[in-house]
Structure 1
Amino acid sequence: MSKTKPNRHDHYVPECYLNSFTIPDGKGGIMFWKWRTQYRSIGKSCPSQVCYENYFYDLDQSVMSRYGTTNPSLIEQHAFKDFEDNIQAIVAEFATKPATIPIPVFLLICRGYILQKLRTPTYIKGVKEVDKISGLEMRMKAFESFRKELKKDDPRLDRFRSDPNFDYYFTDDYWDNLRKDVPHIPFDAKTTQQQSIIEALSGISETANHALFRLAQMRVVVINAPEGEYFLASDNPGFSILRHPNEPIFLTHSFRLNDMIAAFYPISSNQALMFQMIQEPPSDERDRHLNYYSASPEDMYVYNQDTLKNSDQYVFCCDREYLRRFIERVAT
């Protein structure tokens, strides 16, 4: 008789991070209030009961072979240890409003934020969505480039022009049929996510390295919530801020890293970090200077609205009434 595999809750948002958005539950534990978008309801919960999947990080044999490990629990046991061991102490230090933080601590926060973006279901969904269109888009771009080349006065292209179907390549019918016929080659998004995490940890991920470099050049602003206002946490903490390609406005994105000009990251009910691009990178710093900003109630609404927008299913708040009023305002 085979034994049932015991459950193991792999948290994609660390409990130790979510603890900073809780209050005492009156029974010796902690709690917060959660809003679930799917059911449009507010319920009571705690960090240990949310943002996890069973064996979420377990590596399959192909991934273990590729990266030379025999430990299927490598990511869960080791990948986020430095960040998770230190985040609560870092949050407590920020609450004292220090003028600076040591550069290693600053880089730990930056790295933790990037890895957090790679480890949520939102990232998997994003990978799937990109994959859904990328096969067709890549093929279409290749053919479009080829079509432009055919118009050039280059003798090397004569053999293509002699094709009896040459004129057909330039018709709408050809391109409409191409859209229908291009096969989509599926891939395992979860495996892609695990590979992204391992490569980011190993320092071989170009995307993660570039994002870390960008964050490390940014000005750090610690945003303090006014009395009676609270930052929301979510199941996809933080978001990137991007320039709109065609308009003089800014956009937020749940996990894009490479072209961000700023990033927002709540660290507790009372504080959030804003990373902002600066003109000149700091030089010869041993500590990173911190700037402070006191948010207005309207600022808080905008920050929390973007947190909700970039969440997957849940947002969390230490105050039920505050969360209720916020959700009501968003709905109007």
Structure 2
Amino acid sequence: MRKLLRIVFETIAVVLIVLINYCDLTVGDWRDPYYGPFQPPTKKTTTTPKPRPQPIQRRISQRDAVKFFLYPNPGNLNYKEEIVVGNNVSLSSYNPNYYPILLIHGYMQNFTNRYPQRTKDAYLRMGFKSNIILVDWAGYSQPDLGRIANMAVGYPRAVKHVPRIGKRVSTLLMFLITERVLKDPTSIHMVGFSLGAEIAGVAGYHVKRSTGQLVGRITALEPGGISYHHTNPRDRLDKSDANFVDVMHTAARSFRANSIGHVDFYPNGGGPTQPGCTMLDMVQDIPGMQGSCAHGRAWEYFTDSVYNKKLYACQSTSYMMYKMKNYCTKPVAFGQAKGDYFLDVVHKDSHQATR
């Protein structure tokens, strides 16, 4: 009973916080450069004011806050080398004959979490001829402000940094192109989870602006969140950011539930919950909150699809129609075709929360 009351209290607090941040992100940026509310000018005094300390995130340079790690050795899943933009020596293990796959984590994560590590392992074990690069933007994604504050302050702040992070990712891709180890932007595949999907979209947008070509594919696993319904298209994922954008929705009612890609997949109806999760997990399926059970199923299902190339879905107008028909006229493998597709995925004991 105490747990239920605590969850109800936190839910009410989160709703109020979301409404406040919603107004902030839609009406305009009324905050000052220090993230504080606007303060009216005060009378001049002879006392020299103390300098206002800047938030930690403002002291982190863009280069230090976003890093790129290449995993070139299928025989050693943990071996990595950092790629430093502007340093061609750091590309010594990059294979120009392979295409790049970038894995981008979400909010409250870093590159050492189960996603993207398990997905990286799947690609390496399956022998894909690809350069697996993990994008680490932990300098922006892990504010460590406390459970409620991570949602109230940390998440909106991370959302505001997405355009900057996405542009930084595009500088990596342009560096690969400039050094001629990446000859064709259409060979690029970016896989982003949650806010990582939005970052991938921004990166694709900037590559298109720089080269006149679209990246090949962006896979969006539970993209975005509360603040992404009213942002500029260039600052979020859009189907115009790649030749092919495939999206997986597993907590659809909590996040961007509408169809936003060339193909949108809805495992088990796309949510609001998933096998092995409970309805109470919906309360925790919010950025900055612990748990995110159904939200995290997206990367788990995708990782399964890397191992199992026969993960098929059926085209339908809704999950209800898919269940009523009880047959499939247009089965497609994940990552193919266009439209809205539904499938049932059996829960596995190995599926856990995102962190």
Q: Which has the higher contact order (CA 8 A, sep 6+)?
A: 1
Q: Which has the higher helix share?
A: 1
Range of TM-score over shorter length: under 0.3
Bigger CA radius of gyration: 1
